[in-house]
Amino acid sequence: MKHRGVLVAVLGLAAVVTAYIWITGDIVAVQSQGSDRFRSAVGPVPATPQRPGDAEAGYRALVNEPYVNCGMPYRAYRRFNPEVDPVDLLPEREARNAELPYAFTSHVNADGVEIVSSNCLLCHASRFNGELVVGLGNEFLDFTQDPRRIVNQVGSYVQGEADSAAWQRWADRVDGIAPYIQMQTVGVNPATNLTWALMAHRDNKTLEWSAEPLIEPPPTSPLPVSVPPWWRMQKKNAMFYTTIGRGDHARFMIMASLLCADTLEEVEIVDAYGPDIRAYLESLRPPPYPYPVDIDLAEEGRTVFEENCSRCHGTYGEDGSYPNLVVPLDEIETDNEYALAATDGRRDRFYQWVENSYYGNSVQIAPAPGYIAPPLDGVWATAPYLHNGSVPDIQSLLDSSTRPKFWRHRVAPREYDPSSLGWRYDRLNHGKANVDDPEMARHVYDTTLPGYGNGGHGFGDHLSNYERNAVIEYLKTL
Amino acid sequence: METWQLTAFLRNERGEDIGFQFSVFRVGIVSPGAPPPSSVWEVRDIYLGNVTVNGMLQGGVDGDERISRGMPGVAGFDPDIHELRIDNWSLQFVEDTGRGEMQLDVAVGKVRAELSLTPLKAPIATDDDAAPFRGYSVTRLSVNGHLNGSQGRDVVSGTAWFDHIWGELPVPGASPIVWDRLQLHLNDGRDLSLIRSRRRDGSGAATVDGYVVDSEGQFSSLDEASTELVIARIWRGARGAYPVDWQLKANDLNFQVTPLIDEQEYDFAVPVWNGMVRAESKPGIRRIGGVGMMQLTGYQAQ
């Protein structure tokens, strides 16, 4: 009782201090002091020990386990999607999964209803010239539409009480997140905002879902991110563009189950194989560049690269090294909104949610006010570029004067341009606001929108065209 | 599954409006790749037909339902004579003229309808890649013919709407989704089709799939962003409570949609409110009106 008395006294004192600071207008200083634990410095990111895992078991778990355990009842799914394109099938999938497209996983729920849910590969697998590459971010997914549309469409095929209850659980979750995941442009991804929205709707101790947000939800205009390739995980000491994901990477990865997991028990089951999945991701390597390379020019490019790019992006080959460096915003000068939102206090309530949850036991959520310079293995495959996917190819990444202000990917068919290292696109004269056809407007990348800017990373601007082409040739070899 | 649906908005010589709808559903019970049937008795398809008639003709509504196995001359589409039949109801597709004309002959209770239909607009494909079905609609046909009823043989004329869809089709009213479906013929020559989908438990967001075809056949789509639908009145029937009265805004259109009569509930395989409606623009706005059919499913008591 004595201790309790002291505690109350201390809390009382804290309240008085807070009141004093409020009155004196010094609240900003207190907030930053209180949230220091949620920030990292720019510069090198230290390595942290990871839980060991089995890469082969990780692949099997990735493509078979129901870590996202709500979705469409199979009977409705099958009627809504009667046909499967054989090119969408993946090897080593078990039972029903063997006949489902790669981005979907089946399981039977406690009521005996077979459920089909999206899996990680929805965003983390993509085609390159017809070949499905697991780990390559999908830069063509459409998050511009209200996802409740598909919920209603699938719902009209659902019959029976048990199937309806299973569908409703999924529909409720989608209802909860729908306002926070609609993007301005086809291709960019709302994953970060989605994660915050899920936290806003869940009790961080029990993970119980609440139809009404329990803390202030994130903004309804998500900041765009390009999906990075998984094979970077082998070199990176922290996850995500601002290096917010520090500590136990596997536990960050299993946050994917937050869409549906309503209890800690469900999360613990996923967490048990999380380290295997992490090991699998770290075992991934980029595919080889599929077109001819001018070896002599590439060798010249290597010299230019090592003089101009390696300080941040590292060196490659047998003795290669990667510095794990966060570049401060005033140096990188790329669109700062994503890093600012992560580090100016606007998202701290979500960091507190994590800190006091099951996840907080082993992860540190600590973004830096900058962007990490990624390892460039297989970079030729990962267009468009920068954290927000605002620059369509490497050629214009290295020559900022040629970057399109308004542009649109050509998608029918999608075609790769080996000379510029990006998907072919059309340069447009107008931004989204001046495109009348809503269907057309959804495909316009408008770099004047907040968070969609294409400035910065001017580190290639001083190079000659010959040097730039040499660097491009060298990047094909990574 | 496959459906044929013909919806007609008719008027007799006494100026009375009559709504008429003829629908046939085919449900395949073997996979399309199955070997040919060994005899005509082997059941491959079940046919379900229904007809609703409403308006002043009977002072109310009439409806009937037929169920049959698919069998030549009994139920099914006969490609040799271009005829869709279920029992003694038939829809004949006139091939000779190449104009897509049709002849309908059905009897419901005391009513017999013999209607000739001629397309006024080219068919449009239901061309949504995301949907697991395909089909086409002729959104406006002219109708002439006869209705035999309690008051003798009436000459009728008007317009009709024809849909033919096949593939994986949802069964309206059997799912946790409520469907409000509307087809309107507007007097400025535009045709409007709209389906609003909502969750039966009232949660979630309503979504709208629809389109407008103008008098020249130009097509523009409607969705929940371009459509505002406010329920103005609920009518309580024996099987459910239905939103029969709407305030509808769609692009530049703004009108009240009201039923000709409220009692248009049918106790089919799934309960449905299916009836003729009138659209009238609000005073002060450019006067646009029209007639149409509203179909409300999913409102049965839980």
pLDDT digits (tens, 9 = 90+) for B224-234: 888 999 999 99
Measure the CA–CA gap between A118 and A115, rounded to whole angstroms: 10
Answer whether A416 touches B (CB < 8 Å): no
Distance, CA of B198 to CA of B206 (rounded, Å):
5
- Report the pLDDT value the prediction gives residue A32, as an integer from 0 to 100: 45
Smallest CA–CA distance, residue A28 to chain B, in Å, is: 39
Q: Best interface-test mutation with A: which of B128, B199, B226 has the largest number of A CBs within 10 A?
A: B199
CA-to-CA dists, residue A448 to A407, A424, B93, B165, angstroms = 11, 21, 56, 44
Contact with chain B for residue A82, Cβ under 8 A: yes
Q: What is the mean pLDDT of chain A?
A: 91
**Which among B132, B172, B177 has CB closest to A155?**
B177
A168 and B131 in contact by Cβ < 8 A? Answer: no
pLDDT of residue A11: 39
Residues 6+ apart with CB under 8 A from B121: B138, B139, B140, B191, B213, B217
Per DSSP, which regions of B94-216 are E strands? 102-108, 111-119, 124-125, 133-149, 152-167, 177-186, 191-199, 207-213
pLDDT digits (tens, 9 = 90+) for A118-158: 999 999 999 998 899 999 999 999 999 889 989 999 999 99
- Predicted confidence band of residue B283 (pLDDT cuts 50, 70, 90): low
Q: What is the pLDDT of residue B168?
A: 85
CA distance A52 to A328: 32
**Quick check: B239 pLDDT over 90?**
no
Q: What is the mean pLDDT for each group of 10 consecutive residues in chain A (478 residues)?
A: 36 38 38 74 95 96 95 94 89 92 96 96 94 95 91 93 95 93 95 95 95 95 97 96 95 93 94 97 96 97 97 95 97 97 95 94 94 97 97 98 96 92 96 86 95 97 97 98
**Which residues of B fall within a CB distance of 8 Å from A165?**
none
Q: Distance, in angstroms, between A163 CA and closest chain B CA?
A: 10
Nearest chain A residue to B208, by CA: A149
Structure confidence at residue B60 (pLDDT): 55
Angle of helix A465-475 relative to helix A295-308, nearest 10 degrees, comes to 100
More confident residue, B219 or A208: A208
Contact A153 B171 (CB under 8 A): no
- In the prediction, which pLDDT does B63 show? 74
Inter-chain touch B204–A158, beta carbons under 8 Å = no
Detail the DSSP E strand segments found in A39-143. Answer: 43-44, 72-73, 104-108, 114-118, 125-128, 131-134
Report CB contact under 8 Å: B175, A158: yes
Q: Which parts of A128-227 fold into alpha helices (H)? A: 148-155, 161-177, 191-200
Q: What pLDDT does B44 receive?
A: 76
Residues of B in contact with A157 (CB under 8 A): 168, 170, 175
Shortest Cα distance, chain B CAs vs residue A178, angstroms: 10
Q: What is the pLDDT of residue A15?
A: 40
pTM: predicted TM-score of the whole model, two decimal places: 0.86
The SS3 of residue B69 is strand
Of B33 and B263, which is predicted with more confidence? B263
pLDDT of residue A2: 33
pLDDT at B55: 65
Contact A155 B203 (CB under 8 A): no
Interface residue A80 vs chain B (CB under 8 A): yes
Q: Does A159 contact B199 at a Cβ distance shorter than 8 Å?
A: no
Write out the two tokens for A204: 């961080």
Q: Please give the pLDDT value at position B170.
A: 84
Give the gap in angstroms from C-alpha B207 to the nearest C-alpha of chain A. 6
Q: What's the alpha-carbon Rg for chain B, to the nearest Å?
A: 19
- Is the minimum CB–CB distance between A155 and chain B shorter than 8 Å? yes
